[in-house]
């Protein structure tokens, strides 16, 4: 996904003089050709994340469209007040693109884990959040985000589904168990594990790579009495959105995702998926417990 | 110096030279009988020199892409700012009444969406210089080489580490269209040994440290950039009381 991001951004910088890129050393080498061609619009401020977002706000105030990129915890968590004040409060907007989603690099430990990023972005108003599930989704999502006027967060991951799906943000049903069946909404790279886990269960599985704004209409259209969220970031991040969307209906909601507890374990992304119950076996166990305990 | 004598000095310095209303009565209108902190009076002279003699801004062209930008980073120094903007006719003087009221556009910190001529919303310290660096970079990237970006901070505000990210980056990359102004009223809790200017010059800024009440000295300092490097003006005023 990062390679696609670099190629697409490099092309956008060449095509649109309104586009600018702000970096804080991360990925700077990959953007060296673009920096050589557009030294005034490819700006690496060094390891200064507060400044990186402040600069993006200033660029936007002069009419440019900044793309801001670094590791997720440093982009969203370290510079959160700059997102709130230097972008939103100024009525300035930017496209944030992170790498290092959740446990993409677990051997680096807690400092490089970022399961809370989407929750934090979700405290802001009017942001679009894109969570691509395949490298093939990255270019059109990025182009869409940059072409818009509002702020967006594009969350890249090393984890991926086998094939790309559409990018219009609508819930896409990938497996239909018929009217009234429990609805599983898998976000981004969780889809393949969800479909593998639930292949023989009577549940509808839908996909989205745009959790904000959440496809409320699609949810109301497809949702039965039971809704199961599978998100690759903090469990429960989208619970409030689903609950509000279904407030007028009796329903139950199970929100699966990354846990809050610090595990203090290294290992691989697969290990962490297992520990957080987001691998196929964990998802199956949680969904069966929720939908039909008798199936155990 | 008491607030009363300072106000008298301001009134004398602010006599209308060009048909615009003087600042001092407008400041009194904002004050509305309240007691101002010294931060208001520490900033008023620099603001007057900027708006009368330095900034290329005009109330009829607040969106002109080639205007100079003035970013008030220490957003609490707002009373004098509002008075100066009203004197320069960016908004009607009657906005100054009921500052902070439910229908007022003028808060205790300025909001760029509510007040014509205000370039940034500020209040949380340490945000203006980063926004100023980005504004200067954005102007340069679009070939707008005439406008200059001025950011006003306080010496205590320099405590915020975000300023030092901006100072070092702007200095080492030679961001020539940026001027920082530090009002030094000795209010930083742990001080700046050697003076605030040293924090900038070590990274390649040019600097002038002047009497923050001397309008001609301020004017000379505020127009003293060399065109190749960012410039800082440290305006020294009487120490904050208490």
Q: DSSP string of chain B? A: --HHHHHHHHHHHT--SSSSPPHHHHHHHHHTTPPPPHHHHHHHHHHHHIIIII----GGGTT-TTS-EEEESSTT-HHHHHHHHHHTTSS-GGGGTTTTSTT-S--SS--TTTSTT------STT-HHHHHHHHHHHHHHTT--S--EEEEEETTGGGSHHHHHHHHHHHHTT-TTEEEEEEE-S--TT--TT-THHHHHTTT-EEEEEETT-HHHHHHHHT---SSS-EEEEEE-PPPP-
Minimum Cα–Cα distance from A50: chain B residue: B162
Cross-chain residue pair A54–B166, CB shorter than 8 Å: yes
CA neighbor of A147 nearest in space, from A19, A5, A11:
A19
Residue pointed to by tokens 């330095």: B54
pLDDT per residue over B176-201, tens digit each?
999 999 999 999 999 999 999 999 99
> Tokens at residue A103, please?
């446990």
Query: Over pLDDT 70: what percentage of chain A?
Result: 99
> What distance in Å separates the CA atoms of residue B206 and residue B180, rounded to the nearest whole number?
10
pLDDT score at B240: 80
3-state secondary structure chain A: CHHHHHHHHHHHHHHCCCEEEEECCCCCHHHHHHHHHCCCCEEECCCCHHHHHHHHHHHHHCCCEEEEEEEHHHHHHHCHHHHHHHHHHCCCCCEEEEECCECCCHHHCHHHCECCHHHHHCCCCCCEEECCCCHHHHHHHHHHHHHCCCCEEEECCCCCCCCCCCCCCCCEEEECCCCCCCEEEEEHHHHHHHHHHCCCCCCEEEEECCCECCCHHHHHHHCCCEEEEEEEEECCCCHHHHHHHCCCCCCEEEEEEECCCCCCCCCCHHHHHHHCCCCHHHHHHHHHHHHCHHHC
pLDDT per residue over B65-74, tens digit each?
999 999 999 9
In this predicted structure, the answer to whether residue A295 has a pLDDT above a threshold of 70 is no
Q: What is the mean pLDDT of the segment spanning A179-183?
A: 93
Question: Other C-beta atoms within 10 Å of B173: how many?
Answer: 18
CA neighbor of A156 nearest in space, from A201, A100, A230, A207:
A100
| Residues in chain A closer than 8 A to B111 (CB atoms) | 89
Cross-chain residue pair A61–B120, CB shorter than 8 Å: yes
pLDDT score at B39: 67
Cross-chain residue pair A20–B141, CB shorter than 8 Å: yes
- A172-295 under CATH 3.40.50.920, yes or no: yes
A43 phi/psi in degrees, rounded to 5: -120, 110
pLDDT score at A223: 72
Residue B242 in domain: no
Domain containing residue B157: 3-236
pLDDT score at B11: 47
pLDDT per residue over B117-140, tens digit each?
999 999 999 999 999 999 999 999
pLDDT per residue over B199-219, tens digit each?
999 999 999 999 999 999 999
Cross-chain residue pair A57–B112, CB shorter than 8 Å: no
CA end-to-end span of chain B: 13
With bands split at pLDDT 50, 70 and 90, how would you rate the model's confidence at A167?
Answer: confident
Residue B241 in domain: no
CA neighbor of B133 nearest in space, from B64, B72, B179:
B179
Cross-chain residue pair B112–A81, CB shorter than 8 Å: no
Is-contact B149 B135, C-beta < 8 A? yes
pLDDT per residue over B12-37, tens digit each?
444 445 566 788 889 888 888 887 77
Report long-range pairs for A29-33 (Cβ below 8 Å, ≥24 apart).
A30/A2, A30/A3, A30/A6, A31/A6
Q: What does each C-alpha distance from B153 to B137, B172, B217 come to in angstroms?
A: 19, 20, 18
With bands split at pLDDT 50, 70 and 90, how would you rate the model's confidence at B8?
Answer: very low
Minimum Cα–Cα distance from B149: chain A residue: A58
Q: Structurally, how many domains does chain B consist of?
A: 1
> What distance in Å separates the CA atoms of residue B199 and residue B201, rounded to the nearest whole number?
6
In this predicted structure, the answer to whether residue A10 has a pLDDT above a threshold of 60 is yes
Query: CATH no. for residue B133?
Result: 3.40.50.970
Q: What is the mean pLDDT of the segment spanning A57-83?
A: 98
Question: Other C-beta atoms within 10 Å of A30: how many?
Answer: 17
In this predicted structure, the answer to whether residue B4 has a pLDDT above a threshold of 50 is no
In this predicted structure, the answer to whether residue A6 has a pLDDT above a threshold of 80 is yes
CA neighbor of A54 nearest in space, from A26, A27, A22, A31:
A22
In this predicted structure, the answer to whether residue A5 has a pLDDT above a threshold of 90 is yes
Cross-chain residue pair B162–A50, CB shorter than 8 Å: yes
- A2-155 under CATH 3.40.50.970, yes or no: yes
> Sign of the CA dihedral B58, B59, B61, B64?
positive
CA end-to-end span of chain A: 38
pLDDT score at A88: 98
> What distance in Å separates the CA atoms of residue A186 and residue A205, rounded to the nearest whole number?
7
Residue pointed to by tokens 């039965």: A224
CA neighbor of A237 nearest in space, from A257, A210, A260, A262:
A257
pLDDT per residue over A240-284, tens digit each?
999 999 999 999 999 999 999 999 999 999 999 999 999 999 999
| Residues in chain A closer than 8 A to B168 (CB atoms) | 46, 48
Q: What is the mean pLDDT of the segment spanning B100-121?
A: 96
| Residues in chain A closer than 8 A to B141 (CB atoms) | 20, 40-41, 59, 62, 64
> What distance in Å separates the CA atoms of residue B188 and residue A115, rounded to the nearest whole number?
37
Which of B67, B134, B162 is the best mutation test for A, with the most CBs of A within 10 A?
B134
> Looking at CA atoms only, how far is residue B61 from chain A in angstroms?
15
> Tokens at residue B156, please?
């205590």
Which of B141, B157, B168, B172 is the best mutation test for A, with the most CBs of A within 10 A?
B141
pLDDT score at B42: 82
Question: Other C-beta atoms within 10 Å of B71: how many?
Answer: 26
Q: What is the mean pLDDT of the segment spanning A200-222?
A: 96
In this predicted structure, the answer to whether residue B1 has a pLDDT above a threshold of 60 is no
Give CA A186 to chain center in angstroms: 12
| Residues in chain A closer than 8 A to B121 (CB atoms) | 85, 89-90
| Residues in chain A closer than 8 A to B70 (CB atoms) | none
Q: What is the mean pLDDT of the segment spanning B158-166?
A: 98
> Looking at CA atoms only, how far is residue A12 from chain B in angstroms?
15
pLDDT score at B37: 72
With bands split at pLDDT 50, 70 and 90, how would you rate the model's confidence at A109?
Answer: very high
Minimum Cα–Cα distance from B65: chain A residue: A62
Instruction: Select from A17, A48, A59 the Cβ nearest to the Cβ of B137.
Output: A59
Give the domain ranges of chain A. Answer: 2-155, 172-295
CA neighbor of B181 nearest in space, from B142, B159, B149:
B149
Q: What does each C-alpha distance from A136 to A8, A159, A241, B4 come to in angstroms?
A: 11, 13, 27, 68
Q: What does each C-alpha distance from A90 to A94, A223, B113, B131 come to in angstroms?
A: 12, 38, 7, 10
User: Mean pLDDT score of chain A, rounded to an integer?
Assistant: 96
pLDDT score at B19: 61
Residue B78 in domain: yes
Minimum Cα–Cα distance from A62: chain B residue: B138
Cross-chain residue pair B135–A58, CB shorter than 8 Å: yes
């Amino acid at each position: 996904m990062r390679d696609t991001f670099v190629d697409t951004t490099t092309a956008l910088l060449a095509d649109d003089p309104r586009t600018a890129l702000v970096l804080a050393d991360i990925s700077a080498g990959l953007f060296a050709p673009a920096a050589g061609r557009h030294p005034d619009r490819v700006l690496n401020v060094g390891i200064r994340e507060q400044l990186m977002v402040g600069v993006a706000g200033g660029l936007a105030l002069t009419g440019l469209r900044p793309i801001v990129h670094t590791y997720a915890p440093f982009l969203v968590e370290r510079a959160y007040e700059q997102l709130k004040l230097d972008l939103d409060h100024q009525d300035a907007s930017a496209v944030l693109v992170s790498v290092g989603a959740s446990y993409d690099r677990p051997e680096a430990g807690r400092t490089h884990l970022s399961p809370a990023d989407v929750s934090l972005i979700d405290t802001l108003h009017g942001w679009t959040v894109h969570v691509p599930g395949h490298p093939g989704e990255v270019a059109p999502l990025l182009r869409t985000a940059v072409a818009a006027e509002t702020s967006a967060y594009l969350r890249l991951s090393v984890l991926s589904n086998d094939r790309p799906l559409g990018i219009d943000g609508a819930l896409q049903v990938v497996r239909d168990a018929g009217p009234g069946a429990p609805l599983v909404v898998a976000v981004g790279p969780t889809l393949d594990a969800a479909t593998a886990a639930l292949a023989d269960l009577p549940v509808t599985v839908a996909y989205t790579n745009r959790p904000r704004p959440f496809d409320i209409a699609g949810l109301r259209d497809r949702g039965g009495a039971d809704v199961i969220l599978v998100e690759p970031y903090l469990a429960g991040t989208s619970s409030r959105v689903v609950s509000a969307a279904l407030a007028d209906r009796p329903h139950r909601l199970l929100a699966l995702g990354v846990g809050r507890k610090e595990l203090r374990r290294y290992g691989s992304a697969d290990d962490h998926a297992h520990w957080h119950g987001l691998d196929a076996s964990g998802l199956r166990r949680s969904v069966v417990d929720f939908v039909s305990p008798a199936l155990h | 110096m008491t607030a009363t004598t300072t106000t008298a000095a301001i009134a004398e310095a602010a006599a209308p030279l060009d048909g615009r209303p003087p600042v001092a009565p407008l400041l009194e209108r904002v004050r509305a009988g309240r007691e101002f902190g010294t931060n208001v009076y520490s900033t008023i002279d620099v603001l007057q020199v900027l708006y009368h003699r330095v900034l290329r801004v005009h109330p009829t062209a607040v969106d002109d892409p080639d205007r100079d930008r003035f970013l008030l980073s220490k957003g609490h120094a707002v009373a004098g700012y509002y008075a100066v903007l009203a004197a320069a006719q960016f908004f009607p003087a009657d906005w100054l009444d009921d500052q902070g009221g439910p229908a007022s556009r003028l808060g205790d910190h300025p909001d760029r969406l509510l007040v014509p001529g205000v370039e940034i919303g500020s209040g949380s310290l340490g945000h203006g210089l980063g926004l100023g660096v980005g504004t200067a970079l954005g102007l340069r990237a679009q070939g707008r080489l005439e406008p200059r970006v001025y950011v006003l901070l306080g010496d205590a505000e320099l405590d915020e580490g975000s300023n030092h990210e901006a100072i070092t980056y702007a200095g080492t990359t030679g961001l020539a269209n940026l001027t920082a102004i530090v009002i030094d009223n000795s209010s930083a809790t742990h001080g700046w040994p050697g003076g605030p200017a040293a924090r900038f010059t070590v990274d390649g800024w040019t600097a002038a440290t002047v009497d923050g009440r001397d309008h001609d000295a301020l004017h000379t300092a505020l127009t003293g950039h060399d065109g190749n490097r960012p410039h800082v003006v440290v305006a020294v005023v009487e120490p904050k009381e208490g």
